[in-house]
């Protein structure tokens, strides 16, 4: 069994408008996941400095950062970062630019027997459709591997009509209502699994820190081979 988690941390700015990386890291430590996809991890302008310094991640969690960033002070690609349990070997890693009105991207990391995709899709329906099609095409061109996709899909429809490009290849799961934090009403944060993988259980992680650390609640799941 592998525990996975996804969390849009809003650059570590909480509902009190304070940037508090230690609060975010306490949430990650409490979830105790083997694989974590983060969204909005880097600041948006200037040097794109990470809101979660590598040294603090190492001190306060059992996770380490997959090297995806092009800038020395960042840890992500268009704000998407992948964190793995310390000692997990990375076989390969790719960064993918996504089409749309605003810059978006996806991170693709190959582990032994598992491909992990972290993403943050657009707010615009048309752009989401194009972005999902781009991801599906990119994955189809890679050597086959059981594949996990997770992140902030920004998809409000319960039937995920705008994610149809993934529908034939992946089963999409919404572990629960994760947004907005004060009164979660929609499941923008999702997990998609290829047929070789199954979701055993999952949910929205709620603790005191998670209820204040971001405008999204984190999601988690335990997955296994199907």
Q: Provide block-wise average pLDDT over 10 residues at a time, the chain (226 residues).
A: 97 95 97 98 79 95 93 88 97 95 94 97 94 95 96 84 79 95 95 96 96 97 95
Per DSSP, the three-state class of 159 is coil
Write the CA distances from 186 to 152, 183, 203, integer angstroms: 12, 9, 13
pLDDT reported for residue 103: 87
- List, in sequence order, every residue forming a beta bridge with 186; answer none if it has no partner: 179
CA distance 208 to 39: 20
CA distance 85 to 10: 22
- Residue 34 near residue 4, CB atoms below 8 Å: yes
CA distance 75 to 64: 10
CA distance 143 to 141: 7
Architecture of domain 2-225: 4-Layer Sandwich (3.60)
pLDDT reported for residue 46: 64
- Residue 127 near residue 113, CB atoms below 8 Å: no
DSSP conformation class of 90: P
Q: What are the extents of the domains in the chain?
A: 2-225
| DSSP H helices in 87-218 | 125-140, 164-167, 210-213
In the block, residue with structure tokens 């200037």: 46
């Amino acid at each position: 069994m592998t525990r996975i988690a996804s969390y849009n941390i809003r650059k570590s700015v909480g509902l009190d408008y304070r940037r508090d990386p230690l609060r975010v890291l306490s949430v990650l430590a409490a979830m105790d996941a083997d694989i974590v996809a983060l969204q909005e991890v880097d600041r948006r302008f200037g040097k794109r400095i990470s809101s979660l310094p590598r040294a603090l991640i190492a001190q306060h969690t059992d996770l380490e950062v997959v090297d995806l960033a092009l800038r020395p002070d960042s840890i992500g690609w268009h704000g998407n970062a992948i964190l793995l349990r310390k000692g997990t070997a990375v076989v390969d890693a790719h960064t993918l630019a996504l089409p749309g009105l605003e810059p978006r991207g996806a991170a693709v990391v190959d582990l032994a027997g598992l491909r992990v995709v972290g993403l943050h899709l657009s707010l615009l329906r048309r752009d989401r459709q194009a972005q999902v099609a781009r991801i599906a095409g990119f994955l189809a061109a890679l050597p086959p591997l059981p594949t996990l996709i997770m992140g902030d899909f920004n998809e409000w429809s319960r039937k995920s009509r705008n994610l149809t490009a993934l529908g034939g290849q992946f089963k999409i799961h919404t572990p629960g209502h994760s947004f907005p934090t004060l009164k979660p009403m929609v499941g923008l944060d999702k997990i998609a699994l290829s047929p070789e993988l199954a979701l055993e259980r999952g949910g929205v992680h709620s603790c005191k820190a998670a209820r204040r650390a971001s405008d999204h609640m984190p999601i988690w799941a335990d997955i296994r081979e199907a």
